Structure 1
Amino acid sequence: MGASGWSYVVAYQPDLDAALDALRDKVFAEGDYWWARGEIPNSAKDYDDRPTTMEELFNDEAVQESGTHSILDVYRVLNDGERPDYGTVEPVSAAEALRLTGTERLTREHLGIIKDLAERSWFGRCAVLHDVQGRPEEIYFWGYSGD
């Protein structure tokens, strides 16, 4: 099947890890992820008997092998200085933003420019997006996962 790209925009909050956790909870509750049933990949929302907990979901052998092709496949936002690892989300640094866009305060208009920062499967990126006054307004999460 191959890796799938995914992206989400959520309201800004200063704790990026808490924003990720809330987003993962929402995606799981809505069934907005890939779930293997038989040989055809399907959205979990198509099934009333889908897993009721993330633990149950990730105990599924097919999910362990292929992932969910969603934000559920990453679990933690990195702190400054930490190296990206499987299943982590790396915030766009001020230096990356400045180098790519000419500003440290990213907006929705910059999404097309920064999208290529997610280079590897099973890793995510995130960026704080600002309003026209330069205030943090949203958080953009994106990446690739699944096999």
Structure 2
Amino acid sequence: MGASGWEYSVPYREDLAGAFEALKRKVFEERDYYWGPGADWRPEEERLPWPRTVEELWEDEYVRECGTHSILDIFRIVGPDEERDYFTMQPVSEDEALHVLGTRRPTRAHMPEFENFPHSRWQGRCVVLHDDAGEPRELHFFGYSGD
């Protein structure tokens, strides 16, 4: 199948970790992820029901190998000065935004350029989106995962 790109925007809040966890809960609850064991390409008698918990989701061998092609494949946030690794989300720093986008206060208009931020498969990035007055309005999460 290959990796899939994903992205989500949520209202801004200073608590990045809280926003990240709330978004992951929402994605899980809304089933906004790839559930290979229950996919409609499988014969109906082989399809498994959707998992009831995140723990149940990750107990599945297929999911552990192929992922969910969503933010659910990301387990923790690392700081801007830490090294990104598999399954991590790293915020874009103001200095990085300035270097890549020419501004410390990205807006929705900059979103097409987000692919220019360093990224790898099985990793995510997040950036604060500002309004025209420079006030933070949204958190935007994006990344690539799945096999």
Q: How do 1:1-147 and structure 2 match up within 5 A? A: 1-37=1-37, 49-117=49-117, 119-147=119-147
Change (3 A) 1:120 1:80: closer
Q: Residue 35 of structure 1 contacts residue 41 of structure 1 at CA under 8 Å; is this kept in 2?
A: no
Partner-residue secondary structure (3-state), 1:103: coil
Q: Residue 33 of structure 1 contacts residue 70 of structure 1 at CA under 8 Å; is this kept in 2?
A: yes
By how many angstroms is 1:96 displaced?
Answer: 1.4
Q: Residue 118 of structure 1 contacts residue 124 of structure 1 at CA under 8 Å; is this kept in 2?
A: no
Partner-residue secondary structure (3-state), 1:34: coil
Give the number of aligned pairs.
143
Structure 1 or 2: larger strand share? 1
Unaligned runs of 5+ in 2: none
> Could you tell me the TM-score, scaled by structure 2's length?
0.90
Q: Structure 1 residue runs of 4+, over 2 Å off?
A: 37-42
By how many angstroms is 1:137 displaced?
Answer: 0.3
CA deviation digits over 1:12-58, x for unaligned, max 9? Answer: 0111111110000000000010011267669xxxx893101000000
Unaligned runs of 5+ in 1: none
Change (3 A) 1:64 1:41: farther
1:48, 1:11 → 2: CA distance? Answer: 34
1:41, 1:142 → 2: CA distance? Answer: 27
AA at the equivalent of 1:51: P
2:66, 2:48 → 1: CA distance? Answer: 21
Identity %: 50
> Could you tell me the TM-score, scaled by structure 1's length?
0.90
AA at the equivalent of 1:139: L
2:71, 2:105 → 1: CA distance? Answer: 24
